[in-house]
């Protein structure tokens, strides 16, 4: 990993301080030319009553990595990113370990973006496939 990538990941991780993302343990771990990856631990704190990863937490992970990716790939423009729609298809379940969410751009417009987010376990098994629409709003 080069110095620029390390700088981007540091900024991404600093942005989660004192937020829901920090509470559920999201950490940004990889960034490339057209993707951003975060990881999150799976433990009882993010389980549904049946003892597996809660689908809502999975959606929150996907929206978090997609929204941060939108900000990163808009080249640091002074904008606010907001999710406008998210869909999540839960393919498999996981009880413990770590999940990774990788956001890849499908469309990068000036104001709207569309992201494909794959959530997988540590072995690369697909847990959820998500799609996120975001909008970039000028700060007031």
Q: Average model confidence (pLDDT) for the chain?
A: 95
Average pLDDT, integer, range 47-65: 98
Contact 63, 132 (CB under 8 A): yes
The per-residue pLDDT for 76 is 64
pTM of the predicted protein model: 0.95
Task: Classify residue 76 by burial, with Cβ atoms within 10 Å: 0-12, 13-18, 19+.
Answer: exposed
**Which tens digits make up the pLDDT trace of 109-130?**
989 999 999 999 999 999 999 9
% of the chain at pLDDT higher than 70: 99
Q: What backbone torsions phi and psi does residue 134 show, to the nearest 5 degrees? A: -130, 160
The per-residue pLDDT for 23 is 96
pLDDT at 15 over 70: yes
Please list the active-site residues: 63
pLDDT at 40 over 80: yes
Domain ranges (residues) in the chain = 3-138
The per-residue pLDDT for 130 is 98
The CATH topology of domain 3-138 is Thiol Ester Dehydrase; Chain A (3.10.129)
The per-residue pLDDT for 93 is 97
12, two tokens: 């991404």
Contact 100, 119 (CB under 8 A): yes
């Amino acid at each position: 990993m080069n110095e620029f990538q390390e700088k981007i990941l540091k900024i991404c991780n600093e942005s989660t301080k004192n937020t829901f993302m920090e509470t559920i343990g999201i950490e940004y771990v990889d960034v490339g030319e057209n993707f951003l990856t975060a990881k999150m631990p799976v433990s009882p704190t993010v389980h549904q009553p049946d003892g597996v990863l809660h689908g809502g937490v999975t959606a929150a992970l996907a929206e978090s990595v997609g929204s941060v990716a939108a900000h990163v790939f808009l080249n640091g423009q002074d904008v606010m990113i907001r999710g406008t729609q998210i869909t999540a298809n839960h393919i498999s379940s996981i009880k413990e370990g770590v999940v990774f969410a990788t956001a890849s751009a499908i469309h990068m417009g000036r104001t709207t973006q569309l992201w494909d987010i794959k959530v997988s376990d540590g072995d690369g098994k697909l847990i959820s496939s998500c799609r996120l629409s975001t909008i970039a709003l000028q700060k007031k």
